[in-house]
Chain A
Amino acid sequence: MKYEPVIGLEVHAQMLTETKIFCGCSTKFGSEPNTQTCPVCIGMPGVLPVLNKKALEFAVRTGLATGCTISLYSRFARKNYFYPDLPKGYQISQYELPICEHGRISIIVDGTVREIGITRIHMEEDAGKNIHEDRGNFSFIDLNRAGVPLMEIVSEPDLRSPREAVEYMKKLRAVLRYLGVCDGNMEEGSLRCDANVSVRPSGQKEFGVKVEIKNINSFRFVEKALDYEIRRQIKVLGDGGKIIQETRLWDSGMGVTESMRGKEEAHDYRYFPEPDLVPMVVDKKWTDEIRASLPELPDVKQARFVSGYGLPEFDADLLVSEKAMADWFEAAVKAGGKPNSVSNWMKGELVRLLNEENKSFDDCPLAPEQLAGMLKLIDNGTISGKIAKTVFDEIYKTGKEAEVVVKEKGLVQISDSDEIEKAVDDVIAKSPGEFERFKAGEEKLAGFFVGQVMKLTKGKANPRIVNELLKKKLSS
Protein backbone atom coordinates (compact mmCIF):
# COMPACT_ATOMS: atom_id res chain seq x y z
CA MET A 1 0.00 0.00 0.00
CA LYS A 2 1.17 3.53 -0.71
CA TYR A 3 1.24 5.94 2.19
CA GLU A 4 1.25 9.70 2.33
CA PRO A 5 3.01 11.53 5.19
CA VAL A 6 1.31 14.44 6.92
CA ILE A 7 3.61 16.82 8.75
CA GLY A 8 3.15 19.92 10.87
CA LEU A 9 6.00 21.83 12.51
CA GLU A 10 6.22 23.70 15.78
CA VAL A 11 9.11 26.08 15.59
CA HIS A 12 10.51 27.89 18.61
CA ALA A 13 12.32 31.07 17.66
CA GLN A 14 14.32 33.00 20.19
CA MET A 15 13.57 36.67 19.81
CA LEU A 16 16.47 39.06 19.27
CA THR A 17 15.74 41.28 22.24
CA GLU A 18 18.41 42.67 24.54
CA THR A 19 16.58 41.55 27.65
CA LYS A 20 14.37 38.70 28.80
CA ILE A 21 10.63 38.70 28.25
CA PHE A 22 9.56 39.58 31.82
CA CYS A 23 12.67 41.08 33.45
CA GLY A 24 15.72 43.16 32.57
CA CYS A 25 18.28 40.33 32.55
CA SER A 26 20.47 40.14 29.47
CA THR A 27 19.77 37.49 26.80
CA LYS A 28 23.39 37.31 25.66
CA PHE A 29 24.43 33.80 24.62
CA GLY A 30 27.48 32.06 26.05
CA SER A 31 27.94 33.92 29.35
CA GLU A 32 29.07 32.21 32.54
CA PRO A 33 26.29 29.98 33.92
CA ASN A 34 23.77 31.59 36.25
CA THR A 35 25.10 35.14 35.88
CA GLN A 36 22.12 36.47 33.91
CA THR A 37 19.33 35.84 36.36
CA CYS A 38 17.31 37.84 38.86
CA PRO A 39 14.51 37.16 41.38
CA VAL A 40 11.90 37.37 38.58
CA CYS A 41 13.39 34.80 36.21
CA ILE A 42 14.44 32.37 38.93
CA GLY A 43 10.97 32.44 40.41
CA MET A 44 11.49 33.97 43.83
CA PRO A 45 8.23 34.44 45.76
CA GLY A 46 6.53 37.81 45.56
CA VAL A 47 8.09 39.10 42.35
CA LEU A 48 6.06 40.40 39.42
CA PRO A 49 6.82 39.97 35.73
CA VAL A 50 6.54 42.98 33.40
CA LEU A 51 6.29 42.39 29.65
CA ASN A 52 9.13 43.51 27.38
CA LYS A 53 7.44 45.74 24.80
CA LYS A 54 9.94 44.72 22.13
CA ALA A 55 8.94 41.05 22.45
CA LEU A 56 5.32 41.92 21.74
CA GLU A 57 6.37 44.14 18.85
CA PHE A 58 8.50 41.33 17.36
CA ALA A 59 5.65 38.84 17.60
CA VAL A 60 3.30 41.29 15.86
CA ARG A 61 5.98 41.99 13.25
CA THR A 62 6.30 38.29 12.50
CA GLY A 63 2.53 37.87 12.39
CA LEU A 64 2.14 40.70 9.89
CA ALA A 65 4.93 39.35 7.68
CA THR A 66 3.26 35.92 7.53
CA GLY A 67 -0.24 37.19 6.79
CA CYS A 68 -1.61 36.47 10.25
CA THR A 69 -4.54 38.15 11.90
CA ILE A 70 -3.21 40.16 14.85
CA SER A 71 -5.38 39.73 17.91
CA LEU A 72 -6.69 43.03 19.15
CA TYR A 73 -6.95 41.49 22.59
CA SER A 74 -4.49 38.90 23.80
CA ARG A 75 -3.24 37.48 27.07
CA PHE A 76 -0.73 35.18 28.72
CA ALA A 77 -1.49 31.86 30.39
CA ARG A 78 0.26 29.60 32.87
CA LYS A 79 1.31 26.18 31.73
CA ASN A 80 1.87 24.12 34.84
CA TYR A 81 4.45 21.36 35.05
CA PHE A 82 7.48 20.47 37.12
CA TYR A 83 10.95 20.29 35.67
CA PRO A 84 14.22 21.51 37.19
CA ASP A 85 14.87 23.97 34.34
CA LEU A 86 11.55 25.70 35.07
CA PRO A 87 12.06 27.48 38.39
CA LYS A 88 8.50 28.73 38.91
CA GLY A 89 6.84 25.37 38.37
CA TYR A 90 4.96 26.92 35.44
CA GLN A 91 5.86 28.45 32.12
CA ILE A 92 4.28 31.72 31.15
CA SER A 93 2.94 31.09 27.68
CA GLN A 94 -0.20 31.82 25.67
CA TYR A 95 -3.13 29.44 25.31
CA GLU A 96 -6.44 30.96 24.34
CA LEU A 97 -6.09 34.31 22.59
CA PRO A 98 -2.57 34.00 21.12
CA ILE A 99 -1.15 37.16 19.61
CA CYS A 100 -1.29 35.98 15.96
CA GLU A 101 -3.44 33.46 14.07
CA HIS A 102 -4.25 32.16 10.59
CA GLY A 103 -1.19 33.07 8.53
CA ARG A 104 0.74 31.38 5.75
CA ILE A 105 4.14 30.94 4.22
CA SER A 106 4.73 29.90 0.64
CA ILE A 107 7.43 27.48 -0.35
CA ILE A 108 8.65 26.17 -3.69
CA VAL A 109 9.43 22.47 -4.06
CA ASP A 110 10.33 21.07 -7.49
CA GLY A 111 9.07 24.22 -9.15
CA THR A 112 5.64 24.06 -7.50
CA VAL A 113 4.50 26.78 -5.12
CA ARG A 114 2.78 25.52 -1.97
CA GLU A 115 1.04 27.62 0.65
CA ILE A 116 1.66 26.31 4.14
CA GLY A 117 -0.80 27.53 6.75
CA ILE A 118 0.31 28.97 10.06
CA THR A 119 -2.14 28.08 12.80
CA ARG A 120 -0.83 30.48 15.39
CA ILE A 121 2.15 32.39 16.71
CA HIS A 122 2.35 32.88 20.41
CA MET A 123 4.85 34.31 22.90
CA GLU A 124 6.33 32.41 25.80
CA GLU A 125 9.37 32.28 28.04
CA ASP A 126 12.20 29.83 27.47
CA ALA A 127 13.29 27.38 30.17
CA GLY A 128 16.83 27.00 31.53
CA LYS A 129 19.43 24.59 30.29
CA ASN A 130 20.11 21.14 31.76
CA ILE A 131 23.55 19.62 31.74
CA HIS A 132 23.84 15.92 32.49
CA GLU A 133 26.80 14.03 33.84
CA ASP A 134 27.75 10.95 31.87
CA ARG A 135 28.19 9.08 35.08
CA GLY A 136 27.11 10.14 38.52
CA ASN A 137 23.77 10.95 39.99
CA PHE A 138 23.33 14.62 39.25
CA SER A 139 22.11 17.05 36.62
CA PHE A 140 23.18 20.68 36.59
CA ILE A 141 21.03 23.66 35.80
CA ASP A 142 21.94 26.97 34.17
CA LEU A 143 19.07 29.45 34.32
CA ASN A 144 20.58 32.13 32.05
CA ARG A 145 18.15 31.09 29.33
CA ALA A 146 15.13 30.94 31.66
CA GLY A 147 12.86 33.81 30.64
CA VAL A 148 14.40 34.48 27.23
CA PRO A 149 11.54 35.45 24.90
CA LEU A 150 10.39 32.85 22.40
CA MET A 151 7.86 32.79 19.64
CA GLU A 152 6.23 29.46 19.02
CA ILE A 153 5.19 29.29 15.39
CA VAL A 154 2.79 26.43 14.75
CA SER A 155 2.09 25.31 11.19
CA GLU A 156 -1.00 23.57 9.90
CA PRO A 157 -0.52 19.87 9.00
CA ASP A 158 0.00 21.01 5.41
CA LEU A 159 3.45 19.56 4.72
CA ARG A 160 3.56 16.34 2.71
CA SER A 161 7.23 15.37 2.64
CA PRO A 162 10.46 15.87 4.60
CA ARG A 163 11.70 18.05 1.71
CA GLU A 164 8.71 20.36 2.10
CA ALA A 165 9.36 20.52 5.84
CA VAL A 166 12.95 21.59 5.22
CA GLU A 167 11.89 24.20 2.65
CA TYR A 168 9.32 25.55 5.10
CA MET A 169 11.96 25.80 7.84
CA LYS A 170 14.35 27.55 5.48
CA LYS A 171 11.76 30.04 4.33
CA LEU A 172 10.61 30.70 7.87
CA ARG A 173 14.21 31.25 8.98
CA ALA A 174 14.82 33.66 6.10
CA VAL A 175 11.68 35.64 6.97
CA LEU A 176 12.63 35.83 10.67
CA ARG A 177 16.11 37.04 9.76
CA TYR A 178 14.78 39.62 7.27
CA LEU A 179 12.53 40.91 10.04
CA GLY A 180 15.43 41.08 12.48
CA VAL A 181 13.37 39.25 15.13
CA CYS A 182 15.55 36.11 15.39
CA ASP A 183 19.11 35.33 14.34
CA GLY A 184 18.06 31.85 13.15
CA ASN A 185 21.16 30.23 14.63
CA MET A 186 20.17 26.58 14.96
CA GLU A 187 23.49 25.52 16.49
CA GLU A 188 23.04 27.90 19.40
CA GLY A 189 19.40 26.88 19.71
CA SER A 190 17.89 30.20 18.60
CA LEU A 191 15.69 28.22 16.23
CA ARG A 192 14.36 24.84 17.36
CA CYS A 193 11.91 22.50 15.77
CA ASP A 194 9.45 19.86 16.92
CA ALA A 195 7.50 17.95 14.30
CA ASN A 196 4.11 16.24 14.32
CA VAL A 197 4.06 13.46 11.79
CA SER A 198 1.60 10.79 10.74
CA VAL A 199 1.04 8.67 7.66
CA ARG A 200 -2.19 7.66 5.93
CA PRO A 201 -2.99 5.46 2.95
CA SER A 202 -2.81 7.58 -0.21
CA GLY A 203 -6.21 8.98 -1.02
CA GLN A 204 -7.56 8.70 2.54
CA LYS A 205 -8.97 11.93 3.94
CA GLU A 206 -8.64 11.25 7.68
CA PHE A 207 -5.28 11.78 9.32
CA GLY A 208 -3.42 8.86 10.85
CA VAL A 209 -2.31 8.78 14.49
CA LYS A 210 0.38 11.41 14.96
CA VAL A 211 3.70 11.18 16.70
CA GLU A 212 5.57 14.20 18.01
CA ILE A 213 9.32 14.29 17.41
CA LYS A 214 11.36 16.57 19.61
CA ASN A 215 14.91 17.82 19.50
CA ILE A 216 15.44 18.47 15.80
CA ASN A 217 17.93 21.30 15.55
CA SER A 218 19.33 21.46 12.06
CA PHE A 219 17.88 21.43 8.55
CA ARG A 220 19.64 18.16 7.90
CA PHE A 221 18.14 16.56 11.00
CA VAL A 222 14.64 17.79 10.09
CA GLU A 223 14.87 15.80 6.88
CA LYS A 224 16.61 12.77 8.42
CA ALA A 225 14.37 12.52 11.49
CA LEU A 226 11.21 12.81 9.40
CA ASP A 227 12.49 10.33 6.83
CA TYR A 228 13.24 7.85 9.57
CA GLU A 229 9.95 8.34 11.39
CA ILE A 230 7.85 8.05 8.22
CA ARG A 231 9.60 4.82 7.28
CA ARG A 232 9.13 3.52 10.83
CA GLN A 233 5.41 4.26 10.82
CA ILE A 234 4.87 2.71 7.37
CA LYS A 235 6.68 -0.42 8.53
CA VAL A 236 4.59 -0.68 11.72
CA LEU A 237 1.38 -0.36 9.70
CA GLY A 238 2.66 -2.70 7.00
CA ASP A 239 3.33 -5.35 9.65
CA GLY A 240 -0.27 -5.00 10.79
CA GLY A 241 0.63 -2.94 13.86
CA LYS A 242 -0.83 0.29 15.20
CA ILE A 243 0.82 3.69 15.67
CA ILE A 244 0.72 4.88 19.27
CA GLN A 245 0.26 8.58 19.88
CA GLU A 246 3.45 9.49 21.72
CA THR A 247 6.45 11.77 21.89
CA ARG A 248 9.71 10.53 20.40
CA LEU A 249 13.15 11.99 20.66
CA TRP A 250 15.46 12.31 17.66
CA ASP A 251 18.86 10.79 18.40
CA SER A 252 21.18 12.33 15.82
CA GLY A 253 24.06 10.05 16.80
CA MET A 254 22.10 6.86 16.14
CA GLY A 255 19.95 8.35 13.39
CA VAL A 256 16.74 7.07 14.98
CA THR A 257 13.72 8.40 16.87
CA GLU A 258 13.19 6.87 20.28
CA SER A 259 10.07 6.65 22.36
CA MET A 260 9.96 8.82 25.46
CA ARG A 261 7.25 6.65 26.96
CA GLY A 262 7.68 5.87 30.61
CA LYS A 263 9.51 9.12 31.10
CA GLU A 264 7.82 12.11 32.66
CA GLU A 265 4.89 12.86 30.42
CA ALA A 266 1.81 14.22 32.08
CA HIS A 267 -0.07 16.14 29.40
CA ASP A 268 -2.18 17.87 31.98
CA TYR A 269 -0.88 21.40 32.02
CA ARG A 270 -3.89 23.00 33.69
CA TYR A 271 -3.56 26.23 31.72
CA PHE A 272 -5.20 29.26 33.24
CA PRO A 273 -4.98 33.01 32.54
CA GLU A 274 -1.78 34.45 34.02
CA PRO A 275 -2.90 36.62 36.95
CA ASP A 276 0.44 38.46 37.26
CA LEU A 277 0.24 40.02 33.80
CA VAL A 278 -2.45 42.30 32.45
CA PRO A 279 -3.93 41.69 28.98
CA MET A 280 -2.44 43.15 25.83
CA VAL A 281 -4.33 45.35 23.45
CA VAL A 282 -2.66 45.88 20.09
CA ASP A 283 -4.61 48.66 18.42
CA LYS A 284 -4.76 49.45 14.73
CA LYS A 285 -2.49 52.46 15.08
CA TRP A 286 0.37 50.38 16.49
CA THR A 287 -0.23 47.56 14.00
CA ASP A 288 -0.10 50.06 11.14
CA GLU A 289 3.15 51.52 12.45
CA ILE A 290 4.74 48.08 12.64
CA ARG A 291 3.41 47.18 9.21
CA ALA A 292 4.94 50.32 7.74
CA SER A 293 8.33 49.34 9.15
CA LEU A 294 8.40 45.88 7.55
CA PRO A 295 11.27 45.29 5.13
CA GLU A 296 10.82 43.91 1.64
CA LEU A 297 10.39 40.17 2.27
CA PRO A 298 12.12 37.31 0.40
CA ASP A 299 9.20 36.41 -1.92
CA VAL A 300 8.66 39.99 -3.07
CA LYS A 301 12.38 40.58 -3.45
CA GLN A 302 12.76 37.37 -5.45
CA ALA A 303 10.04 38.43 -7.89
CA ARG A 304 11.63 41.85 -8.23
CA PHE A 305 15.08 40.32 -8.90
CA VAL A 306 13.59 38.19 -11.68
CA SER A 307 11.58 40.95 -13.35
CA GLY A 308 13.86 43.90 -12.62
CA TYR A 309 17.28 42.36 -13.19
CA GLY A 310 16.33 39.55 -15.57
CA LEU A 311 17.84 36.89 -13.29
CA PRO A 312 16.88 33.22 -13.60
CA GLU A 313 14.42 32.14 -10.86
CA PHE A 314 16.95 29.80 -9.31
CA ASP A 315 19.60 32.52 -8.99
CA ALA A 316 17.09 34.97 -7.54
CA ASP A 317 16.02 32.33 -4.99
CA LEU A 318 19.57 31.87 -3.85
CA LEU A 319 20.33 35.59 -3.66
CA VAL A 320 17.30 36.43 -1.54
CA SER A 321 17.81 33.52 0.88
CA GLU A 322 19.85 35.89 3.06
CA LYS A 323 19.07 39.57 3.27
CA ALA A 324 22.77 40.42 3.52
CA MET A 325 23.42 38.51 0.27
CA ALA A 326 20.58 40.28 -1.53
CA ASP A 327 21.81 43.65 -0.30
CA TRP A 328 25.35 42.82 -1.42
CA PHE A 329 24.08 41.91 -4.87
CA GLU A 330 22.16 45.16 -5.26
CA ALA A 331 25.13 47.22 -4.09
CA ALA A 332 27.37 45.55 -6.69
CA VAL A 333 24.81 46.21 -9.42
CA LYS A 334 24.48 49.80 -8.28
CA ALA A 335 28.27 50.14 -8.53
CA GLY A 336 28.01 49.23 -12.20
CA GLY A 337 28.14 45.42 -12.31
CA LYS A 338 25.87 43.67 -14.80
CA PRO A 339 23.24 41.73 -12.78
CA ASN A 340 23.95 38.36 -14.38
CA SER A 341 27.72 38.67 -14.05
CA VAL A 342 27.44 39.82 -10.43
CA SER A 343 25.12 36.92 -9.64
CA ASN A 344 27.40 34.38 -11.33
CA TRP A 345 30.50 35.54 -9.50
CA MET A 346 28.62 35.64 -6.20
CA LYS A 347 27.14 32.15 -6.36
CA GLY A 348 30.36 30.70 -7.73
CA GLU A 349 33.65 32.13 -6.55
CA LEU A 350 32.45 34.34 -3.73
CA VAL A 351 30.27 31.72 -2.02
CA ARG A 352 33.16 29.25 -2.36
CA LEU A 353 35.65 31.59 -0.67
CA LEU A 354 33.18 32.54 2.07
CA ASN A 355 32.42 28.86 2.75
CA GLU A 356 36.12 28.07 2.98
CA GLU A 357 36.39 30.60 5.78
CA ASN A 358 33.04 29.73 7.32
CA LYS A 359 31.88 33.28 6.70
CA SER A 360 28.60 34.70 5.49
CA PHE A 361 27.58 37.85 3.65
CA ASP A 362 27.20 39.53 7.03
CA ASP A 363 30.98 39.52 7.41
CA CYS A 364 32.01 39.35 3.76
CA PRO A 365 35.53 40.75 3.38
CA LEU A 366 34.94 41.68 -0.27
CA ALA A 367 33.14 44.95 -0.96
CA PRO A 368 30.49 44.94 -3.72
CA GLU A 369 32.33 47.84 -5.38
CA GLN A 370 35.47 45.69 -5.69
CA LEU A 371 33.58 43.07 -7.70
CA ALA A 372 31.96 45.77 -9.87
CA GLY A 373 35.42 47.22 -10.51
CA MET A 374 36.77 43.85 -11.60
CA LEU A 375 33.80 43.19 -13.90
CA LYS A 376 34.50 46.51 -15.59
CA LEU A 377 38.04 45.30 -16.38
CA ILE A 378 36.66 42.11 -17.94
CA ASP A 379 34.12 44.04 -20.00
CA ASN A 380 36.64 46.49 -21.41
CA GLY A 381 39.05 43.69 -22.27
CA THR A 382 41.76 44.63 -19.78
CA ILE A 383 41.73 41.15 -18.26
CA SER A 384 40.48 37.81 -19.54
CA GLY A 385 37.79 35.80 -17.77
CA LYS A 386 40.46 33.26 -16.84
CA ILE A 387 42.81 35.82 -15.28
CA ALA A 388 39.80 37.31 -13.51
CA LYS A 389 39.72 34.26 -11.22
CA THR A 390 43.23 35.06 -10.01
CA VAL A 391 42.33 38.73 -9.67
CA PHE A 392 39.18 37.80 -7.76
CA ASP A 393 41.08 35.69 -5.20
CA GLU A 394 43.51 38.58 -4.78
CA ILE A 395 40.96 41.36 -4.27
CA TYR A 396 39.09 39.10 -1.84
CA LYS A 397 42.21 38.42 0.22
CA THR A 398 43.83 41.85 0.12
CA GLY A 399 40.86 44.21 -0.06
CA LYS A 400 42.57 46.04 -2.93
CA GLU A 401 40.83 47.33 -6.04
CA ALA A 402 41.02 45.03 -9.07
CA GLU A 403 42.76 47.72 -11.10
CA VAL A 404 45.57 47.93 -8.53
CA VAL A 405 46.00 44.15 -8.39
CA VAL A 406 46.13 43.89 -12.18
CA LYS A 407 48.85 46.57 -12.35
CA GLU A 408 50.89 45.19 -9.45
CA LYS A 409 50.86 41.63 -10.76
CA GLY A 410 51.16 42.52 -14.43
CA LEU A 411 47.98 40.66 -15.28
CA VAL A 412 46.82 42.92 -18.08
CA GLN A 413 45.47 40.87 -20.97
CA ILE A 414 47.64 40.77 -24.05
CA SER A 415 45.59 42.01 -26.96
CA ASP A 416 48.60 42.92 -29.08
CA SER A 417 48.32 40.65 -32.14
CA ASP A 418 52.06 40.65 -32.84
CA GLU A 419 52.93 39.47 -29.37
CA ILE A 420 50.27 36.76 -29.45
CA GLU A 421 51.28 35.67 -32.95
CA LYS A 422 54.79 35.15 -31.68
CA ALA A 423 53.45 32.86 -28.97
CA VAL A 424 51.27 31.00 -31.46
CA ASP A 425 54.25 30.47 -33.76
CA ASP A 426 56.32 29.20 -30.83
CA VAL A 427 53.69 26.68 -29.90
CA ILE A 428 53.27 25.47 -33.48
CA ALA A 429 57.03 25.13 -33.81
CA LYS A 430 57.12 22.98 -30.66
CA SER A 431 54.31 20.69 -31.77
CA PRO A 432 54.67 20.16 -35.53
CA GLY A 433 52.99 16.75 -35.40
CA GLU A 434 49.85 18.10 -33.70
CA PHE A 435 49.77 21.01 -36.13
CA GLU A 436 49.82 18.66 -39.12
CA ARG A 437 46.88 16.72 -37.67
CA PHE A 438 45.10 19.97 -36.90
CA LYS A 439 45.57 21.11 -40.47
CA ALA A 440 44.38 17.75 -41.69
CA GLY A 441 41.05 18.48 -40.03
CA GLU A 442 41.34 17.21 -36.45
CA GLU A 443 39.39 20.16 -35.08
CA LYS A 444 39.44 19.21 -31.44
CA LEU A 445 43.15 20.03 -31.40
CA ALA A 446 42.19 23.74 -31.46
CA GLY A 447 41.68 23.45 -27.71
CA PHE A 448 45.17 22.05 -27.29
CA PHE A 449 46.74 24.98 -29.15
CA VAL A 450 44.73 27.62 -27.30
CA GLY A 451 45.71 25.94 -24.05
CA GLN A 452 49.40 25.92 -24.94
CA VAL A 453 49.32 29.60 -25.94
CA MET A 454 47.59 30.45 -22.68
CA LYS A 455 50.20 28.49 -20.77
CA LEU A 456 53.00 30.31 -22.53
CA THR A 457 51.45 33.74 -21.89
CA LYS A 458 50.49 32.80 -18.32
CA GLY A 459 46.85 33.07 -19.24
CA LYS A 460 47.13 36.67 -20.36
CA ALA A 461 46.52 36.26 -24.09
CA ASN A 462 43.15 37.49 -25.29
CA PRO A 463 41.46 34.19 -26.23
CA ARG A 464 39.48 35.79 -29.06
CA ILE A 465 42.69 36.90 -30.76
CA VAL A 466 44.36 33.53 -30.15
CA ASN A 467 41.47 31.81 -31.94
CA GLU A 468 41.58 34.24 -34.85
CA LEU A 469 45.31 33.75 -35.27
CA LEU A 470 45.02 29.97 -35.16
CA LYS A 471 42.40 30.08 -37.91
CA LYS A 472 44.72 32.29 -39.93
CA LYS A 473 47.64 29.86 -39.48
CA LEU A 474 45.44 27.00 -40.54
CA SER A 475 44.54 28.55 -43.84
CA SER A 476 48.02 29.85 -44.59
Chain B
Amino acid sequence: MKIKKGEIEHIAVLARLYLSEEEKDLFGSQLSSILGYMENLNKLDTEDIEPASHVLSLHNVMRDDIPALSLPGAEALMNAPSSTEKFYRVPKIIE
Protein backbone atom coordinates (compact mmCIF):
# COMPACT_ATOMS: atom_id res chain seq x y z
CA MET B 1 0.00 0.00 0.00
CA LYS B 2 1.84 3.03 -1.29
CA ILE B 3 0.33 6.49 -0.74
CA LYS B 4 0.88 8.85 -3.63
CA LYS B 5 2.51 12.18 -3.03
CA GLY B 6 -0.64 13.97 -4.25
CA GLU B 7 -2.67 12.25 -1.55
CA ILE B 8 -0.24 13.34 1.15
CA GLU B 9 -0.48 16.90 -0.12
CA HIS B 10 -4.29 16.77 -0.10
CA ILE B 11 -4.42 15.38 3.44
CA ALA B 12 -1.96 18.03 4.58
CA VAL B 13 -4.11 20.82 3.14
CA LEU B 14 -7.25 19.44 4.85
CA ALA B 15 -5.36 19.25 8.16
CA ARG B 16 -3.83 22.72 7.65
CA LEU B 17 -0.32 21.23 7.82
CA TYR B 18 2.48 22.80 5.85
CA LEU B 19 4.95 20.05 4.97
CA SER B 20 8.39 20.39 3.47
CA GLU B 21 9.33 18.11 0.56
CA GLU B 22 11.38 15.92 2.94
CA GLU B 23 8.42 15.66 5.34
CA LYS B 24 6.07 14.68 2.52
CA ASP B 25 8.41 11.77 1.69
CA LEU B 26 8.93 10.84 5.33
CA PHE B 27 5.25 10.94 6.37
CA GLY B 28 4.24 9.37 3.09
CA SER B 29 6.31 6.29 3.70
CA GLN B 30 5.26 6.14 7.38
CA LEU B 31 1.57 6.37 6.54
CA SER B 32 2.04 3.79 3.80
CA SER B 33 3.49 1.34 6.25
CA ILE B 34 0.74 2.00 8.84
CA LEU B 35 -1.98 1.46 6.28
CA GLY B 36 -0.10 -1.57 4.96
CA TYR B 37 -0.16 -3.06 8.41
CA MET B 38 -3.90 -2.42 8.67
CA GLU B 39 -4.28 -4.39 5.45
CA ASN B 40 -3.69 -7.48 7.58
CA LEU B 41 -7.28 -7.09 8.81
CA ASN B 42 -8.50 -7.90 5.33
CA LYS B 43 -7.22 -11.43 5.79
CA LEU B 44 -9.94 -12.08 8.36
CA ASP B 45 -13.14 -13.75 7.27
CA THR B 46 -15.91 -11.24 8.14
CA GLU B 47 -18.60 -12.88 6.02
CA ASP B 48 -21.12 -13.33 8.86
CA ILE B 49 -20.22 -10.29 10.94
CA GLU B 50 -22.34 -7.13 10.99
CA PRO B 51 -20.41 -3.92 10.33
CA ALA B 52 -19.94 -2.07 13.62
CA SER B 53 -19.35 1.59 14.30
CA HIS B 54 -18.94 0.99 17.99
CA VAL B 55 -17.33 -1.58 20.23
CA LEU B 56 -19.69 -1.09 23.16
CA SER B 57 -23.06 -2.80 23.14
CA LEU B 58 -24.66 0.36 24.51
CA HIS B 59 -27.30 2.54 22.91
CA ASN B 60 -29.49 5.50 23.88
CA VAL B 61 -27.23 7.10 26.45
CA MET B 62 -29.08 10.37 26.89
CA ARG B 63 -29.70 13.15 29.35
CA ASP B 64 -32.85 15.12 30.16
CA ASP B 65 -33.28 18.63 28.82
CA ILE B 66 -32.37 20.39 32.06
CA PRO B 67 -30.02 23.40 32.04
CA ALA B 68 -26.70 23.17 33.87
CA LEU B 69 -24.27 25.92 34.75
CA SER B 70 -22.15 27.34 31.96
CA LEU B 71 -18.65 28.73 32.30
CA PRO B 72 -18.33 32.43 33.18
CA GLY B 73 -17.44 34.36 30.02
CA ALA B 74 -13.97 35.30 31.22
CA GLU B 75 -13.14 31.72 32.05
CA ALA B 76 -14.38 30.46 28.68
CA LEU B 77 -12.08 32.92 26.89
CA MET B 78 -9.10 32.30 29.19
CA ASN B 79 -7.28 29.76 26.99
CA ALA B 80 -7.85 31.58 23.73
CA PRO B 81 -4.67 32.84 22.03
CA SER B 82 -6.45 36.11 21.37
CA SER B 83 -9.67 37.62 22.70
CA THR B 84 -11.44 40.82 23.61
CA GLU B 85 -13.47 41.26 26.78
CA LYS B 86 -16.39 39.34 25.28
CA PHE B 87 -15.26 37.62 22.10
CA TYR B 88 -12.70 35.22 20.73
CA ARG B 89 -10.61 37.17 18.26
CA VAL B 90 -9.36 35.56 15.06
CA PRO B 91 -7.76 36.76 11.84
CA LYS B 92 -10.44 38.17 9.57
CA ILE B 93 -12.31 35.34 7.84
CA ILE B 94 -14.08 37.20 5.06
CA GLU B 95 -12.79 39.71 2.55
Contacts and interface: CB of A to CB of B under 8 A. Distances in A.
A226 B60 CA distance: 41
A86 to B, nearest CB: 12
Contacts of A37: 70-71, 76
Given A18-B67, A38-B71, A281 B59 contact: yes
B89 interface: yes
B88 A278 contact: no
A75 interface: yes
B28 to A, nearest CB: 18
A137 B89 CA distance: 10
Contact of A278 (B16, B60, B87, B94): B60
A389 to B, nearest CB: 46
B34 to A, nearest CB: 17
Contact of A54 (B10, B65, B92, B93): B65
Nearest to B61: A278
10 contacts: A18-B65, A24-B68, A25-B67, A32-B73, A53-B64, A55-B65, A138-B90, A273-B53, A279-B59, A281-B59
B82 to A, nearest CB: 8
Contacts of B60: 278, 280-281
Contact of B56 (A80, A142, A278): A278
A428 interface: no
A266 B65 contact: no
Interface string B50-66: 00011010111111111
B90 A84 contact: yes
A142 B66 CA distance: 22
Interface centre among B16, B60, B68, B88 (most CB of A within 10 A): B88
B44 interface: no
Contacts of A75: 53-54
Interface residues of B, number: 36
Interface of B: 10, 13-14, 16, 53-54, 56, 58-73, 76-77, 84, 86-95
B67 A137 contact: no
Given A35-B72, A75-B53, A278-B60, A24 B88 contact: no
B76 A140 contact: no
A284 to B, nearest CB: 14
Contact of A34 (B61, B62, B77): B77
A133 interface: yes
Given A19-B66, A83-B93, A280 B59 contact: yes
Contact of B70 (A35, A56, A141): A35
A52 B63 contact: yes
B63 A56 contact: no
Contact of A51 (B63, B66, B68, B90): B63
A136 B87 CA distance: 15
A279 B58 CA distance: 8
Q: Is the interface of B mostly helix, strand, loop or mixed?
A: loop
Contact of B14 (A32, A136, A268): A268
Q: Is the interface of A mostly helix, strand, loop or mixed?
A: loop
A132 B93 contact: yes
A138 B89 CA distance: 6
Contacts of A133: 92
A139 B94 CA distance: 8
A215 to B, nearest CB: 12
Given A130-B93, A138-B89, A25 B62 contact: no
A23 interface: yes
B58 A278 contact: yes
A132 B14 CA distance: 24
B4 to A, nearest CB: 16
A138 B92 contact: yes
Interface in A247-299: 263, 266, 268, 270, 273, 275, 277-281
A26 B91 CA distance: 28
A267 to B, nearest CB: 11
Interface in A387-445: none
Contacts of B14: 80, 266, 268, 270
A53 B59 contact: no
Given A138-B89, A138-B90, A268-B14, A275 B54 contact: yes
A109 interface: no
Interface string A36-70: 11110010000000111111100000000000000
A204 B64 CA distance: 51
